[in-house]
Amino acid sequence: MQILDGNLVSKATRDELKIKVAQLVAEGRKVPHLAAILVGSNGASETYVGSKVKTCEEIGYKSTLIRLEETISEFKLLTAIEELNNDPDIDGILVQLPLPKHISDEKVINAIDASKDVDGFHPVSVGKMVQGLPTFIPATPHGVMLMLEHYKIDTKGKNAVVIGRSNIVGRPMSILLSANTQPGNCTVTICHSHTKNLKEICKEADILVAALGRPEFVTADMVKEGAVVIDVGITRVEDTTKKKGFSLKGDVKYDEVAPLCSYITPVPGGVGPMTIAALMKNTFRACQDKN
């Protein structure tokens, strides 16, 4: 069993970007500038946005963090996005999800200029991705593909099973794994809450991607010997033995599943760091299109 080390691959990707940014600076060209909007103060979202901003600094990008009150109106949020759309110095815009219930995710995502949609959630980006055209790929599935590529994992003709059909992870993941690309070219099954015989389907997977957000859902009896297991889940579970009061749990029961696998991602230190690396790649691309 080999661990797919997200920290290592993410660092390699970030180091490559750092060199490219230094080149832009040396040539007196524009450096990438990411704007992140955080509405409210959800603990996990704070952590994610904090990491994104910190990574921008580390690579040499500019970043702008806009914090808005939990109670902000949808109109005011849309206005803030419009200002960023019109600001020529801003290359990438992300609005951290989830948003408060009174705000429509759909309206917000649609309001972002597609050329600055570094999350790859805008319908234009999604449509291009489905057609295999160059575009922004959502960061988490993009990060998983970068990891498969880095470890030269053979995907062609393999059975991939994705558990979860969210627009952020499961659905784009299924499209990328089935695309006529390397990695890609899998036969993909997408499972969700209405799937029958989930265990049996998972057991057929050469590549199993767990992205449903239920801690330790995938158990040893669901995994084929030699499978590649990608754990996208990262849930805060109360843990009084920890200083923070919680520990992070993946969607896979790691201790019992890992011995069965050819490769597995740990949580934390697997997909999480790759998500940030992929976002940084998207942000570089957004700037490059203008440079």
- Is 52 catalytic? The answer is yes
Of 224 and 284, which has the nearer Cβ to ligand GUN? Answer: 284
Q: Which is nearer to ligand GUN, 35 or 94 (CB)?
A: 94
**Of the two residues 119 and 206, which places its CB atom closer to ligand GUN in the complex?**
119
> Which run of H or of E encompasses 175?
helix 170-178
3-class DSSP state of 29: coil
149: three-class secondary structure by DSSP:
helix
In single-letter form, the type of residue at position 163 comes to I
Q: Are 93 and 52 in contact (CB under 8 A)?
A: no
Compute how many residues bind ligand GUN; rule: CB under 6 A: 8
Closest CB to ligand GUN among residues 124, 258:
124
Task: Map the footprint of ligand GUN across residues 113-142, applying CB under 6 A.
Answer: 119, 139-140
5, 52, 251, 281: the catalytic one is: 52
State the nearest-atom distance from the C-beta of 206 to ligand GUN, in Å.
Answer: 26
Annotated catalytic residue: which of 119, 206, 231, 251? 119
Residue 10 in the binding site for ligand GUN (CB under 6 A): no
- Looking at 21, 112, 147, 168, which residue binds ligand GUN (CB under 6 A)? 168
Strands 62-68 and 92-95: unpaired
* Beta strand segments in the chain, E: 2-3, 33-39, 62-68, 92-95, 159-163, 187-191, 207-210, 228-231, 235-238, 246-249, 263-264
Nearest to 228 by CA among 202, 262, 266: 262
Establish if 55 lies at the interface with ligand GUN (CB under 6 A). Answer: no
- The residues, ordered by sequence, that sit 6+ positions from 120 with a Cβ below 8 Å of its Cβ are 126, 129, 135, 136, 137, 138, 139, 142, 172, 282
Contact call for residue 96 and ligand GUN (CB under 6 A): yes
Residues 76-95 that bind ligand GUN (CB under 6 A): 94-95
Whether 2 sits among the annotated catalytic residues: the reply is no
Least distance CB 169 / ligand GUN (angstroms): 8
Annotated catalytic residue within 5, 91, 96, 251: 96
Q: How far apart are CA 29 and CA 26, in angstroms?
A: 8
| CB of 139 or CB of 228, closer to ligand GUN | 139
Is 23 an active-site residue?
Answer: no
- Residues with a catalytic annotation lie at 52, 96, 119
Contact footprint for ligand GUN (CB under 6 A):
94-97, 119, 139-140, 168
